[in-house]
Chains A and B, each alone.
Chain A
Amino acid sequence: MSVMMKEFEKLKFGSKDALAELYTKTAPHIYALLFRRLANEEDAQTVMKIVYATLWTNCHAADAPSNLNELRALAHREAIKYIVTNNLQPQTLSPNALTPIPPDGLKPNTPVNDDLRQAYLEGRTPPSSKPKKSQMKGNI
């Protein structure tokens, strides 16, 4: 993926060609992430437009994405904003997903549990993580 660094660098100078090259190389991956998170083609396309328009509009900014991981993070954040502001996926995630950081802090090799993996990628936790009816308030 380091081959893309050149395109990210060129993009900082306002090169439309660089944006086109980056789109060609990254769009299938970014679109897949957005579709997985949004579960809807139309929404994924809308957020794709936001992501690449933001990439272009902010291309000179000091914190503009400069590699694929940062572009992924931008796409993920924009998907979250789209979901929340449009109230698309009201969630109740399991505590396992919401409290993943150990007391001694986050390290690169801190394990990712299944609930967190699915919450991050799809915005939900596995069915087995849902509270049982008998545990839910008012359903005893």
Chain B
Amino acid sequence: MSLSHDDRQALAISYVLGNISSEDLIIADALRDNDPEFAKLVNEIEAWLAPLNEQTPDKMPPAGLFDDIMREISPGSDAAPLLANDNGPGFWRPAAIAASLIAVAALSLHLPSLNTPSEPQTAEQSQLMALLADDSQPQLVVIVYDPASQKVVAKMSNVPWPEDGDYELWLIRDGEAGPQSLGLLNIEKQSGNDGSKEFEFAIPSQLNPSADLLAVSLEPKGGSGTSKGPQGPVLFTGQVTPL
């Protein structure tokens, strides 16, 4: 997924205006959080258009709305959540409270920033991304791979949690005999303690853009019982592409 200058500009404008598909929204969110140049472009467009808001006359929200918000965000605590580290690898902004209010959570990736264009990247260094979806949007799985740490960060959106099973991540590589398990997306690997479906873990193989396909299957607890591939249904697949 390498975007030209014009494509990035068009994506940024569509992102700010809202004339955007749910898939492109996820991509734009990921770019905004990981690509400083794209974030700068979005910020410039937002700053340019922001004065238009001044002309909108105020409108009072209903009484009691703030009480509702306070009940939602801090049912038993007087303190805001403390963040251990806002810059470290794999850090995810703990937006569980906000996400719980969204019917279909929009995805927001918070990974180490991409290098700027002045620091050329090799293919081996570039972060890679796979967008996995089934036929019935908006269920989505976004996986970002960082070659430096050989870790993936996966975020599942609107995907129900299996009561009696685990999701398993698979690598399907051109030329290989069969799928290779990259690990389980289960509670032990959840990177946040806020109940959101975010997972961070190291994988045993380097991913290659374009040559690799990722898949997520629903398996019995503990994963597929065979090394040959999924036993359960494959729910999501997606091509690995440069972020």
Contact = CB atoms under 8 A, between A and B. Distances in A.
A107 B60 CA distance: 34
Tier of interface size on chain B: 35 or more
A62 B93 CA distance: 11
A23 B19 CA distance: 29
A98 B59 contact: no
Interface in B79-102: 79-83, 86-87, 93-98, 101-102
Interface stretch (B6-14, B179-187, B202-210, B219-227): B6-14
Interface class of chain A by DSSP:
helix
Interface in A1-52: 14, 16, 20, 23, 27-29, 31-33, 35-37, 41, 44-46, 48-50, 52
Given A50-B101, A76-B46, A85-B106, A98 B22 contact: no
Given A49-B72, A57-B73, A100-B13, A112 B102 contact: no
B49 to A, nearest CB: 5
Given A57-B81, A69-B50, A80 B102 contact: no
A73 B46 contact: yes
B177 interface: no
A49 B101 contact: yes
Given A32-B59, A33-B56, A56 B68 contact: no
Given A81-B25, A101-B9, A31 B61 contact: yes
Contact of B58 (A29, A41, A61): A29
Given A28-B58, A45-B62, A106 B48 contact: yes
A91 B59 CA distance: 25
